[in-house]
Amino acid sequence: MRGCLRLGRRLSSYGTGFQPVPQKMSQLLSRRIAVITGVTRGLGEAIALKFAQEGASLALMSRSAAGLECLLSRLRAAKVREGQEFRPIPVDLTDQDDIERAARVAMREFDGIDILVNNAAVQGPIGPLETNDWREWRAAFEVNLFAPMRLTQLLIPAMRRRGSGKIVNISGGGATSARPDFSSYGASKCALVRLTETLAEELRADKIDVRLAHMDGGVCHERKQATRVHRIDSHIGIRERLHGTLKSEIG
């Protein structure tokens, strides 16, 4: 319980004026099913709560089983409709077999997938490249690039069967400019940007919208792909920008 209280305090201080459970919500995501990774802290936790408040059912992925249990109690308090479900799925995103298992669980628990938010990320080793541990450097790519790629690959068919879908990849400052001493983080996030751009083109005909949300100093900006003109908030229910933590950047 003490751990859950710490999670609650951390969320309440995340961003400017975030209110965990507003009195009236628009339920933009009623009947939608979303898979979100990295949900037990920070932005991922805030997105999960916001989606729940907007009516979505959620497949919640994180390495921390204890953190997922803490989050579940908050999500149940945010529940807004009958039939809204929350499924915790512990997963190690550095393990391909575990990623595949987690995707199978999500598809088994729900009758389809509408939204995928690839939020989980790690910084990787810090310091000049020549001093970095190779295994830690590679592990950053496993979480920041290969896990989003594999989850997307596995869930595209489920979105196609629904007739449309939304995929949101979370980037970071390392993708926009050089970031000395964070080479694995920056390189993996740059690769994620190009993957996102490529998928936006590949999946256009399937009505699967692929977006990049760029985190910079605690603020999230949307990166509009050339193949899409819709705003991220109109599709995945972050219309109120998580009460000040999100703002749109068009161009």
Question: Coil, helix or strand for 64?
Answer: coil
Which CATH number does the domain housing residue 69 bear? 3.40.50.720
Q: Assess if residue 239 is contained within a domain.
A: yes
Q: What is the CA radius of gyration of the chain?
A: 17
Smallest CA-to-CA distance from 6 within 54, 40, 34 is with: 40
Find the domain containing 234 and state its range.
2-244
Q: Assess if residue 251 is contained within a domain.
A: no
Number of neighbours of residue 85 by Cβ within 10 angstroms = 13
Domain count, the chain: 1
Q: What's the predicted TM-score (pTM) here?
A: 0.79
Q: Assess if residue 250 is contained within a domain.
A: no
Reading the chain (251 residues) residue by residue, the pLDDT tens digits are 445 544 444 444 334 333 444 445 567 898 899 999 999 999 999 999 999 999 999 999 999 999 999 999 999 988 888 889 999 999 999 999 999 999 999 999 998 999 999 999 999 999 999 999 999 999 999 999 999 999 999 999 999 999 999 999 998 767 778 889 999 999 999 999 999 999 999 999 999 999 998 765 444 444 444 333 233 333 333 333 333 333 332 22
Smallest CA-to-CA distance from 176 within 221, 132, 211 is with: 221
